């Protein structure tokens, strides 16, 4: 079981790093998102089967599983991004702080402002760095330039990008490197002042150095945000998450504290997956 | 040893095997096909070159001894600065300004109408419409593009002017509207360029990656925000190029404006008067008795050359904008 040991090692290193940083418990137990019996369909095809899960506040929850297991679909169900897909429908309940987000009177635009999202491929708008970060506040009605500047600076600082771009905020965002673009997208998501941040494989298209920066950033951000991250990379899940959920073929197989899931998984399928026997 | 010899005997190469090129029907056909294809590809280039050559010899400098070209008789300054165009009168004036004015007033009205409507339609089809509706609308737009321009001209003359322009502007506002007028020509020209703008802009909008739209929605955008603040700026180069191509088409459009706007060269910005465009002059002059070798005949080439340069410039500008402002999405 050397693979198990290496995961234990990773989780342990992370906890040491964390407790060195601040004296608070590793896992928060306040529930931010509560999903009950979610079934999700793309037209005829069912992508999620009766998934129930809670997501803890101010913690990192990672979703792992092989491609097509439903982890991205589940993530996108949490801010109703699937609404824009033709033929997608669901049943079940998704509660954000106790409120049903699929209720008919919910304004999906305000929901998405509170539940931000970062995608696998960085998607900077073909605008300046400043305008990219200011996009969210601007459409929310913030017109005051001084206020916008403050939000932009603060968001870029939180995304650990400020020092690299502060002298060229008016340059095109497309001129940034891949890793910088991804941090820009994180800054852009932070600028709308969300409390939940959904990340769909945010580092899978990045080189190792940029990946490490993004991981450090996620680690910083969980002090203030609830973070849900989909990842292909189990080491990444072990390094950064407090909770890990394993999806397989549209079912949630197991969700537990990251350390427990990687060291003493309850289900055979989980163990097979994390030890590399399939997927 | 004897076994090895038996397997690879040192026989001389087969006689008759030659690697040198020689005639064969297969090779001849290959060369023939190549020549035919090259000929077809060169045809458009040669046509363009021939047209330019004719413009140059008839308008700029005659190569035939004893004859003169247009600009050898009329100075370029007169052509550009004279405010009258009257080649067929006894008192001949060759100022291109009235024709340019007619062309740009009509193309301008057409653009003011056609570009925004075409773009709005493109945004609707690309961002709002259900796929079913889009599939239905595309052929309808192509039908609109396929209507002969003479039909549009007739429509302007017998419908737009008497039933739309005159009731509104003449009866209600008291502005005289000529039966031939620039406004009716501009209106139908606007309708004519809608399919061009819509189709090309829609291609540009749809080429914007879905990821950008999703990023927009994820930041709390409404559909309107995503369409106008994310997708349209991202497709900017393609949209501008579609505008320039449409304007280029409007400037070159002939039959509709010839019928609707009339044949009265006039340097005026009043869109309710009759005006003559460059193209309309060329139709009129080449239909009438314009003997070869006369100055009226040569003036056709001068006007044609001017029109050619303007549309060429527009197309070059469109290409430049496309390349300069194109965002490359993988």
Find the CATH number of the domain harbouring A162. Answer: 3.40.50.300
Listed by number, the residues of chain A in 117-176 with a beta carbon closer than 8 Å to a beta carbon of chain B are 117, 119, 121, 123, 125-127, 135-136, 139-140, 174
Contact A116 B219 (CB under 8 A): yes
Q: Which of B127, B208, B217, B218 to mutate to test the interface with A (most CBs of A within 10 A)?
A: B218
From chain B, pick out residues whose CB is under 8 angstroms from the CB of A192: 219-220
The CATH architecture assigned to B99-293 reads Orthogonal Bundle (1.10)
Question: What average pLDDT does chain A have?
Answer: 86
Contacts of A77 (CB under 8 A, 6+ apart): A35, A38, A40, A48, A90, A94
pLDDT tens track for B90-124: 788 888 898 899 899 999 999 999 999 999 999 99
* B125 confidence band (pLDDT: 50, 70, 90): very high
Q: Give the domain range for residue A267.
A: 2-274
Q: Give residue-wise pLDDT tens across range B200-226.
A: 999 999 999 888 999 999 998 889 999
Residue with tokens 């234990």: A8
Contacts of A73 in chain B (CB under 8 A): none
- Percent of chain B past pLDDT 70, that is, above it, reads 93
Do residue A113 and residue B209 have CB atoms under 8 angstroms apart? no
- For A247, phi then psi, to 5°, come to -105, 145
Q: Give contacts of B214 with chain A, Cβ < 8 Å.
A: 81, 84, 117, 119, 123
Q: How far apart are CA A262 and CA A237, in angstroms?
A: 10
Contact A174 B327 (CB under 8 A): yes
Nearest CA in chain B to A189: B219
pLDDT digits (tens, 9 = 90+) for B214-265: 999 999 888 999 999 999 999 988 899 899 989 988 998 888 888 888 888 8
pLDDT digit string (tens) for A138-177?
Answer: 988 888 889 999 999 989 988 888 989 989 999 989 889 8
Facing residue for B218 by CB, picked from A81, A86, A140:
A81
Cβ contacts below 8 Å, chain A against chain B, sum to 65
Testing the interface with B: which of A135, A200, A201 to mutate, by most B Cβ within 10 A?
A: A135
Instruction: List the single residue in A with minimal CA-CA distance to B211.
Output: A123
Q: Identify the pLDDT of residue A67.
A: 85
- CB-based contact A109 B222, cutoff 8 Å: yes
Nearest CA in chain A to B130: A86
* CB-based contact, A85 to chain B, within 8 Å: no
Quick check: B101 and B281 in contact, CB under 8 A? Answer: no
Contact B98, B266 (CB under 8 A): yes
Residues of B in contact with A139 (CB under 8 A): 219-222, 225, 229
Q: How far is A116 from chain B (nearest CA, A)?
A: 6
Question: Would you place residue B16 in the very low, low, confident or very high pLDDT band (cuts 50, 70, 90)?
Answer: low
SS3 state at B240: helix
Crossing angle for the helix pair B278-287 and B295-325, to the nearest 10 degrees: 150
Dist CA A229 CA A63 (whole Å): 6
- Statement: residue A184 has pLDDT above 50: yes
Q: Where does the pLDDT of residue B296 fall: very low under 50, low under 70, confident under 90, or very high at 90 and above?
A: confident
Please state the domain count of chain A. Answer: 1
Asked if the Cβ–Cβ distance from B217 to A135 is below 8 Å, we say: no
Distance CA A162, CA A141 (A): 24
* Sequence ranges of the domains in chain B: 99-293
Contact B221 A139 (CB under 8 A): yes
Inter-chain residue contact A123 with B131, CB threshold 8 Å: no
Cβ contacts of B233 on chain A, cutoff 8 Å: 125-127
User: Would the pLDDT of A28 be above 80?
Assistant: no
**Apex CA B63: angle with CA B58 and CA B67, to 5°?**
70
Task: Tell me the pLDDT band of A243, cut-offs 50, 70 and 90.
Answer: very high
Tokens 């852009």 belong to: A188
pLDDT tens for each residue of B143-162: 888 889 899 999 898 988 88
Give a yes or no: residue A279 inside a domain.
no
pLDDT of residue B49: 93
Q: How confident is the model at residue B68 (pLDDT cuts 50, 70, 90)?
A: confident
Contacts of B222 in chain A (CB under 8 A): 109, 139
The chain A residue lying nearest B234, using CA atoms, is A126
Of B218, B233, B327, the CB nearest to A79: B218
Q: Provide the pLDDT for residue B330.
A: 44
What pLDDT is attached to residue B175?
A: 80
Instruction: Decide: B188 and B152 in contact? Cβ < 8 Å.
Output: yes
- Residue-wise pLDDT for A60-101, tens only, equals 999 999 888 889 999 999 999 888 888 888 999 999 988 899
**Tell me: the pLDDT tens digits for B313-323?**
988 988 888 88
Q: What pLDDT, on a 0 to 100 scale, did the predictor assign at position A19?
A: 59
Q: Looking at residue B114, what is its pLDDT?
A: 95
> pLDDT at position A23, please?
46
């Amino acid at each position: 079981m050397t693979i198990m040991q290496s995961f234990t090692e990773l989780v342990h290193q992370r906890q040491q790093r964390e407790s060195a940083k601040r004296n608070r418990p590793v896992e928060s137990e306040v529930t931010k998102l509560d999903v009950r019996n979610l079934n999700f369909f793309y037209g005829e095809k069912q992508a999620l089967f009766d998934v129930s899960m809670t997501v803890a506040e101010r913690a990192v929850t990672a979703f792992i599983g092989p491609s097509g297991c439903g982890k991205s679909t589940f993530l996108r169900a949490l801010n109703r991004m699937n609404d824009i897909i033709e033929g997608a429908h669901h049943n079940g309940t998704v509660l954000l702080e106790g409120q049903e987000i699929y209720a008919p009177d919910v304004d999906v635009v305000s929901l998405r402002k509170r539940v931000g999202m970062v995608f696998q491929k960085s998607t900077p708008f073909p605008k300046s760095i400043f305008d990219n970060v200011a996009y969210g506040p601007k459409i929310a009605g913030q017109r005051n330039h001084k206020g916008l500047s403050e939000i932009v600076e603060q968001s870029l600082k939180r995304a650990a990008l400020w020092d690299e771009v502060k002298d060229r905020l008016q340059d095109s965002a497309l001129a940034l490197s891949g890793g910088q673009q991804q941090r820009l997208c994180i800054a852009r998501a932070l600028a709308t002042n969300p409390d939940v941040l959904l990340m769909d494989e945010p580092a899978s298209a990045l080189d190792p150095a940029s990946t490490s920066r993004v991981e450090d950033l996620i680690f910083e951000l969980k002090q203030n945000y609830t973070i849900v991250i989909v990842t292909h990379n189990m080491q990444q899940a072990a390094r950064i998450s407090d909770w890990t959920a394993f999806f397989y073929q549209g079912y949630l197989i197991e969700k537990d504290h990251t350390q427990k899931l990687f060291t003493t998984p309850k289900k055979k399928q989980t163990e097979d997956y994390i030890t590399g026997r399939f997927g | 040893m004897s076994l090895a010899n038996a397997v690879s005997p040192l026989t001389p190469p087969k006689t008759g095997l030659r690697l040198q090129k020689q005639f064969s029907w297969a090779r001849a056909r290959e060369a023939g096909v190549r020549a035919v294809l090259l000929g077809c590809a060169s045809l458009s280039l040669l046509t363009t070159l021939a047209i330019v050559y004719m413009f140059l010899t008839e308008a700029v400098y005659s190569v035939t001894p004893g004859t003169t070209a247009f600009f050898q008789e009329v100075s370029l300054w007169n052509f550009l600065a004279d405010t009258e165009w009257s080649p067929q009168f006894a008192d001949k004036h060759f100022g291109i300004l009235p024709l340019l004015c007619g062309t740009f007033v009509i193309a301008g009205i057409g653009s003011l109408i056609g570009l925004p409507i075409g773009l709005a339609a493109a945004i609707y089809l690309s961002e709002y419409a259900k796929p079913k509706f889009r599939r239905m609308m595309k052929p309808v737009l192509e039908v609109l593009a396929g209507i002969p321009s003479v039909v549009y001209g007739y429509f302007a003359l017998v419908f737009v002017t008497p039933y739309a322009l005159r009731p509104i502007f003449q009866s209600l506002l008291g502005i005289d509207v000529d039966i031939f007028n620039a406004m009716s020509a501009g209106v139908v020209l606007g309708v004519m360029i809608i399919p061009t703008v819509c189709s090309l802009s829609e291609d540009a909008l749809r080429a914007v990656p879905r990821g950008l739209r999703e990023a927009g929605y994820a930041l709390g955008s409404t559909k309107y925000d995503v369409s106008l603040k994310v997708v349209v700026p991202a497709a900017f180069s393609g949209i501008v190029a579609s505008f320039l191509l449409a304007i280029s088409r409007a400037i070159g459009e002939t039959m509709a404006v010839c019928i609707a706007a009339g044949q009265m060269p006039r340097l005026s910005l009043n869109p309710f008067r009759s005006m003559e465009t460059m193209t309309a002059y060329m139709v009129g002059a080449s239909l009438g008795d314009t003997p070869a070798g006369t100055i009226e005949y040569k003036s056709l080439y001068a006007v044609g050359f001017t029109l050619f340069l303007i549309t060429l410039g527009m197309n070059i500008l469109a290409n430049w904008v496309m390349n300069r402002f194109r965002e490359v999405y993988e």
